[in-house]
Chains A and B, each alone.
Chain A
Amino acid sequence: MGGNAVEKHGKILVADDEPAIVELVAEILKSAGYTACTASNIKEAEGILEKEEIVLAVTDIYMPDGTGLDLARKIKSVGAKIPVIIMTGTPKSDNVRQSVNIEVDAYLIKPVGADNLLALVKELI
């Protein structure tokens, strides 16, 4: 079995409190053959990370029960090899600085373009 084939069909966590964004990102990923596991808050996202074999996480910054940066920090702190893509509509210097410190793998500014997202996903998995 080729590595690429396994990765391409891996599960990707999509966390955003805006249902329209979650749906859009999930559709883009599904169209490329990935499985999207969606969460509308940090707690749900953590639950998915525990249960599923997630190969990549795409998360919004601001959510009702915390920030996507906290989630990324948690993923990176446990030594997991899961790449993290941060999505935001309004980039702020503090968020960018934190993303650099956490060593987030990619930073996407909404509206997210399908080509851009899939290129990064392909590069990171």
Chain B
Amino acid sequence: MKKQKIGDKEAFTKIVISYENDLYKIARTRLQNDDDISDVFQETIINAFKSIKKLKNTEYFKTWLIRILINNCNSLYSKKKKRKEFFIEDLQEDNYRIEDDFENINGELSFNDMMKILNYDERIAMTLYYSEGYTNKEISKILRTNENTIKARISRAKLKIKKMLREC
């Protein structure tokens, strides 16, 4: 992927569209509302396109784009929190209820079910690890957190999912 290629508006859009599903999953870990996700997508694309020249190594384009997306999601989330526009799901985030409806109760969980079971830190770590295939070290760099913290979050999330699967 050459820098000139990414710098071109059409090529840039094409590349971003190819990450559509991944970006949506990552945004969903923080935001529940599709309108908010659309806003964050727009902001991310504008920010990324404007600062594409700052990207030194185009190999890390996706990681860089994800980093911008996460920053934008977090800032929108904190803005909404300040304005006290809480989402019901966010309020339930830390005290997850077993009686929540799951999409599939035949011992199989979907991505949306995962979102209900886990809290934000676990959701984002698990999505980056299993969906995007990043290593713990890479995730710690993306989230600017300690590598051991990421390991702990992933193992905690696994335990929760295991428990949930047993109960299904």
The answer to whether A binds B is no
Taking Cβ atoms with an 8 Å cutoff, the residues of B that contact A are: none
Taking Cβ atoms with an 8 Å cutoff, the residues of A that contact B are: none
